[in-house]
Amino acid sequence: MMKYAHDRIKEPLKLRSPADIKWNLAHDVIIVGFGGAGVSAALEARAKGADVAVIDRFSGGGATAICGNVVYAGGGTHIQKEAGVEDTPEDMFRYLQAETGGIVSDRTLSHFCEGSADTLKWLEQQGVRFKSTCTLKKTSYPASGIHLYHSGSELNPRYAKLARPAPRGHIAYGGFRLRATGHPDFYAPLRKSAFEQGVSTYLQAEAVRLIQTVDGRIIGVEIRQLPPGTKAEKAYIRYSRRADKWHLYAPGLAAKYRRKAQAVADSHARTMFLQARKGVILSSGGFVMNRDMVRTYAPGYLKGLALGTSGCNGSGIALGQSAGGATQNMDRITAWRFINPPHAWAMGMIVDGKGARYVDETLYGAAIGDAMCLEAAGKATLVINHSLKWKAMREILPWRARAFQYIPAFISMMFKTTKGQTIDELAEKTGLAPAILRRTLETYNAAARGERKDDFGKPVADMQEMDRGAYYAIDVSLDNKVLPCPTLTLGGLQVNEQTGEVLREDGGEIPGLYAAGRTAIGIASNAYVSGLSVADCVYSGRRAGSHAAGGT
User: Three-class SS string for 174-202?
Assistant: CCCCCCCCHHHHHHHHHHHHHHHCCCEEE
Q: What is the pLDDT of residues 102-127, one digit of tens each?
A: 999 999 999 999 999 999 999 999 99
DSSP reduced 3-state for 426: helix
The domain ranges of the chain are 13-63+181-226+269-334+487-548, 70-171, 339-475
3-state helix, strand, coil in the chain (%, to 5): 40, 20, 40
What pLDDT, on a 0 to 100 scale, did the predictor assign at position 17?
A: 93
The mean pLDDT of 291-306, rounded to a whole number, is: 95
Percent of the chain predicted with pLDDT > 70: 97
Cα distances (Å, whole numbers) of residue 372 to 95, 295, 477: 22, 19, 8
Contact 66, 312 (CB under 8 A): no
Q: What is the pLDDT of residue 413?
A: 86
d(CA 74, CA 200): 33
Q: Determine the length of the chain.
A: 552
Q: Which of 406-415, 521-530, 538-547 has the lowest mean pLDDT?
A: 406-415
Alpha-carbon distance of 363 to 158, in angstroms, equals 10
Per-residue pLDDT, 179? 47
- Position 551 scores a pLDDT of 65
Q: 205-213 and 349-351: which strand pairing?
A: unpaired
The predicted pLDDT at position 183 comes to 62
Lowest mean pLDDT among 6-15, 323-332, 435-444: 6-15
Counting residues of the chain whose pLDDT is more than 90, the rounded percentage is 88
CB 317 within 8 A of CB 381: no
Residue 415 has pLDDT above 90, yes or no: no
Query: Is 177 a residue whose pLDDT tops 70?
Result: no
pLDDT of residue 18: 94
Q: Is the pLDDT of residue 224 over 70?
A: yes
Q: Does domain 339-475 have CATH number 3.90.700.10?
A: yes
How many whole angstroms separate alpha carbon 409 and alpha carbon 337? 12
Alpha-carbon distance of 164 to 88, in angstroms, equals 9
All residues at 6 or more sequence positions from 43 whose CB lies less than 8 Å from its CB, including other chains: 126, 190, 193, 194, 197, 199, 542, 545
Computed over its alpha carbons, how large is the radius of gyration of the chain? 24
The predicted structure's pLDDT at residue 406: 76
pLDDT at 180 exceeding the cut of 60: no
Name the β-bridge partners of 25. Answer: 274
E strand or H helix that includes residue 23: none
> What per-residue confidence (pLDDT) applies to 489?
97
pLDDT at 2: 40
The per-residue pLDDT for range 503-513, each reduced to its tens digit, is 999 999 999 99
Mean pLDDT of 304-315: 94
Q: Which of 350, 386, 361, 389 is nearest to 480 (CA)?
A: 350
**Strands, E assignment, 352-425:** 381-385, 417-420
Q: Does the pLDDT at position 286 exceed 90?
A: yes
| pLDDT for residue 29 is more than 60 | yes
As a whole number of angstroms, the distance between CA 339 and CA 336 comes to 9
Q: Do domains 13-63+181-226+269-334+487-548 and 339-475 have the same CATH topology?
A: no
Region 288-301: what's the mean pLDDT? 95
- For 58-100, the pLDDT digits (tens) are 999 999 988 889 999 999 999 999 999 999 999 999 999 999 9
Arithmetic mean of pLDDT, 480-499: 95
Nearest to 365 by CA among 338, 343, 402, 335: 338
> What is the pLDDT averaged over residues 455-466?
95
Q: What is the mean pLDDT of residues 455-463?
A: 95
Confidence tier at 242 by pLDDT (50, 70, 90): very high
pLDDT for residue 3 is more than 60: no
> What integer pLDDT is reported at residue 5 of this predicted model?
55
**Across-strand partners of 206?**
224
Contact (CB, 8 A) for 57 and 236: no
Average pLDDT score over residue span 235-263: 93
> Which residue type sits at 428?
E
Please give the mean pLDDT across all residues of the chain: 94
Contacts of 349 (CB under 8 A, 6+ apart): 357, 361, 382, 383, 440, 441, 444, 466
Query: Domain 13-63+181-226+269-334+487-548 is classified in which CATH homologous superfamily?
Result: FAD/NAD(P)-binding domain (3.50.50.60)
Contact between 108 and 497 under an 8 Å Cβ cutoff? The reply is yes
- Determine the pLDDT at residue 6: 77
pLDDT tens profile 353-412: 999 999 999 999 999 999 999 999 999 999 999 999 999 999 888 767 777 777 888 888
The CA distance from 188 to 183, in Å, is 5
Cα–Cα distance between 104 and 442 in angstroms, integer?
Answer: 42
Going by DSSP bridges, is the β-strand pair 305-306/52-55 parallel, antiparallel, or unpaired?
unpaired
Dihedral sign from CA coordinates of 255, 256, 258, 259: positive
The pLDDT of residue 182 is: 47
**Does residue 221 surpass a pLDDT of 80?**
yes
> Is the four-CA dihedral 302, 307, 313, 314 of positive or negative sign?
negative
